[in-house]
Structure 1
Amino acid sequence: MAKVNIALDAELVVEVMVLAGVGSPQDAVEAVVRDYIARGHRTEARTADRDEAHRTGTLLPPEPPQG
Structure 2
Amino acid sequence: MAGRARIDISLDAELVVEVMVLAGVASPQDAVEAVVRDYIARGHRTEARVQAQDEPRRTPDPLVQPPQG
| TM class, shorter-length | 0.7 to 0.9
How far did 1:57 drift?
3.4
Aligned to 1:51: 54
Distance in 2 of aligned mates of 1:53 and 1:39: 23
Distance in 2 of aligned mates of 1:44 and 1:51: 11
Q: Residues 5-63 of structure 1, C-alpha deviation per residue, up to 9 Å, x if partnerless? A: 000000000000000000000000000000000000000000001111111135xxxxx
Tell me, yes or no, if structure 1 residue 39 matches structure 2 residue 39: no
Give TM-score, length-normalised by structure 2. 0.81
Structure with bigger gyration radius: 2
Distance in 2 of aligned mates of 1:57 and 1:47: 18
- Aligned residues with identical type, % of pairs: 76
Give TM-score, length-normalised by structure 1. 0.83
> Residue type matched to 1:26 in 2?
Q
The unaligned stretches of length 5 or more in structure 1 are 59-67
